[in-house]
Amino acid sequence: MSQLCPDVPGRPTGPVDVLLVAAVIMIDIDGRILLARRPEGKSMAGLWEFPGGKVEKGETPERALIRELNEELNIDVTEACLAPFVFASHTYEDFHLMMPMFLCRRWDGILTPREGQTLKWVKIQDLGTYPMPPADAPLLAMIRDFL
Ligand SMILES: Nc1nc2c([nH]c(=O)n2[C@@H]2O[C@H](COP(=O)(O)OP(=O)(O)OP(=O)(O)O)[C@@H](O)[C@H]2O)c(=O)[nH]1
Ligand SMILES: [Mg+2]
C-alpha cells in the first residue's frame, strides 16, 4: 500500500449517499469573492459558504445554480457566464458531498439575501479568516493560486 497517499481515517467503506450541490465563486470588479453566512436553523448555521444549493432530479448543475442564485440572491445568471472551475468531494457524517464549483463574473440584478443569509464581499487573501464548512477548506488554495 502506498505510504505517500495513505487512506483518510474515518472514511466509510460501505455504501454512501452522494449529494450533488452546485456552488459558485462570484467575483466582483475589484476581484473580491462573495461569501454567504448560513442562517440559524440550517445545517452548519453560522459558517460562511459559496452560494448555491442542491441539484434537483432532472437538473444540470448549471441549471440548478441559475435557479439557486435567483432563489437565494435574486440575481439572474446565464449558463454562458458560469465557467467550470474546481470541485469539492468530502465525506460528512451522513452523506458524501460532491460539489462542482463555477466561476461567475457577470450577473443581472441587485444582490439581495432572500433566505436570511448575511452576504459579504471578501478579498481573496482574507478568505481563510472566515469559518467555512470542512468541504470548502481544500478549495481556498486553488482559489488563491488560480485567481
Ligand atoms: N451552497 C453551499 N453548500 C455547501 C458548501 N460547502 C458545503 O459543505 N456545503 C453543503 O452542501 C449542502 C447543500 O447546500 P445548501 O444547504 O445550500 O442546499 P440548498 O440551498 O438546496 O438548501 P435547502 O436544502 O435548505 O433548500 C449543505 O449540507 C451544505 O452545508 C458551500 O460552499 N456552498
Ligand atoms: Mg444553498
What is the ipTM, given to two decimal places? 0.95
In a domain, 99, yes or no: yes
Distance 53 CA to ligand 2 centre (A): 4
In a domain, 70, yes or no: yes
User: Annotated binding residues, as ranges?
Assistant: 38, 49-52, 72
Q: Where residue 1 falls among pLDDT bands split at 50, 70, 90? A: low
In a domain, 145, yes or no: no
Domain that holds residue 69: 18-127
Distance 119 CA to ligand 2 centre (A): 13
In a domain, 12, yes or no: no
Distance CA 116, CA 143 (A): 26
Q: How far is CA 17 from CA 61, 86, 101, 110, in A?
A: 18, 21, 20, 36
In a domain, 33, yes or no: yes
What single letter denotes the amino acid at residue 41?
Answer: G
Distance CA 75, CA 120 (A): 16
Q: Which atom of ligand 1 is nearest to the CA of 68?
A: 20
Helix extents (H) in 47-103: 61-73
4-13, 19-28, 120-129, 133-142: which has the minimum mean pLDDT?
4-13
- Backbone torsions φ then ψ of 146, nearest 5 degrees: -110, -5
In a domain, 82, yes or no: yes
Total tally of structural domains belonging to the chain: 1
**Ligand 1 pocket by C-beta < 6 Å: which residues?**
21, 23, 42-44, 49-50, 52-54, 68, 97, 133, 135-136
Q: What is the CATH number of the domain that holds 117?
A: 3.90.79.10
